[in-house]
Amino acid sequence: MTAIRVNKLTKVYGKVRALDGLDLEIPTGSVYGFLGPNGAGKTTTLRILAGLAKATSGSVDIAGKVMGRGNPKPSAKVGYLPEEPAFYGWMTPIEFMSYAGEIFDVQGKALKERISTLLELAGLNEVKKRRIGGFSRGMRQRLGIAQALINQPEILLLDEPVSALDPTGRKEVLELIESLAGKCTVVMSSHILADVERVCDTVAIIDHGKCLVQDKKAALMERYATNVVELEIDPREGRSINDWKQVIFDLKGVNKGTLDGYTLRMSVEDVHIALHSILERLAQDNLPIVRLEQVKPSLEDVFMKLVNHGKEGI
């Protein structure tokens, strides 16, 4: 079943074409990772789905309600969390959730029960009477997700929910998102690929307002991920990093790679040929290494391949 269907969606701001015929099909109950570089159109898409922006053309069917055909408003069964949610710092979580509930006409006993359930889900029960102004960024993000769920939405839209969080805050928010799998359809935009790989079962990659690919995460990994080899050089090596980086990148069987500190991550056609070439050159140059191994391809490898080469290989 499909929770959201986006058909040839365009959005133009003056001379800027933020969305350019975007097509998406988001399965019901999925945790859907919405990936793309900065400026790809992720936030614009989510704002249109949330009813906060109007498309220039195209249509959206969300939770069984068609938007863009004389009906610009989203279904009441949609929750939305912007990248930087705003709160009244003088309020407590209970007061803020009550305020949010009244907006959706949730009242009385039902509202109290819903607030209690959601604050427990968000791990905020112990601080439910504290002022929000003293909360950490992670606590505010978890509260933001809780308020986005106050109307029991079928679809939850999260725009960069872990952006700028420290490791502890990111872990807390990701665990909360994981707990929602199967309870509602979650659409999560992000540029942190490791987080999407951790919590999402389905992924779309967009660039310049167009969808390059969308599929189950496992299918994307099998279809597009290449063989990957990592080489870590001893940091005590005297030569400059760029000297030995270029030597390795130019070897037979090595396609391309990235450098992170003293670790090279390379995509290769044939692992055995590449490893032989690398080891031979390391021995020839007497380069001290810490580690050389084939590693499991990541979502980042798929992302970089598609975004850097457009539709090559699709």
Q: Are residues 181 and 257 in the same domain?
A: no
| 173 plus 45 within the same structural domain | yes
Cβ neighbours around 240 below 10 Å, total: 8
Global pTM value: 0.79
Q: CA 44, CA 13: separation in Å to the nearest integer?
A: 11
Query: Is it the case that residue 154 has pLDDT exceeding 50?
Result: yes
Q: Is residue 312 part of a domain?
A: no
58 or 312: which leads in pLDDT: 58
Q: 71 in a domain, yes or no?
A: yes
**Distance (Å, rounded) from C-alpha 195 to C-alpha 55?**
29
Helix, strand, or coil (residue 107): coil
Owning domain of residue 175? 2-216
What's the CATH code of the domain at 285? 3.30.70.1340
| Percent residues over pLDDT 70 in the chain | 93
Total number of domains in the chain? 2
Residues 21-38: pLDDT tens digits?
A: 999 999 999 999 999 888
